[in-house]
Structure 1
Amino acid sequence: MMTLALNQVPKPLHAHGSAISNTINQVSGAIGPALYTSIMTMASQHFIQQSNETNKTLL
């Protein structure tokens, strides 16, 4: 995919295209796990809250 994208860039701009591609790759590689962790944390907190409410009603 990266090769196809860089083939669309004119030869004199290959270095800039490669730099932009690598930057986007690094940023998305950092955002993905952070977003996943945030979603899983919110889901587990919601589960714990629901569990605590259920336990209070049973007592």
Structure 2
Amino acid sequence: MSEKKELRGYLSPELNRLFRAVVALKDKNLSDTIAEAIEDWLNKPENQEIIKRHNLKPED
């Protein structure tokens, strides 16, 4: 299992409340859900283009 890093950010109170409520209702882990959301964002075509253009690769 790879080492995990902490990431900090800020959400509006409304988005924070909604996100936490849906995560709880789905009985999911908050950290895993945030990681999934970031992975989905990174997989958007425009972000994949940047990743490819700059030859960025995840560290193993």
**Fold shared by both chains (TM-score > 0.5):** no
TM-score (norm 1): 0.29
Structure with more relative contact order (C-alpha pairs < 8 Å, separation 6 or more):
2
Larger radius of gyration: 1
TM-score (norm 2): 0.29
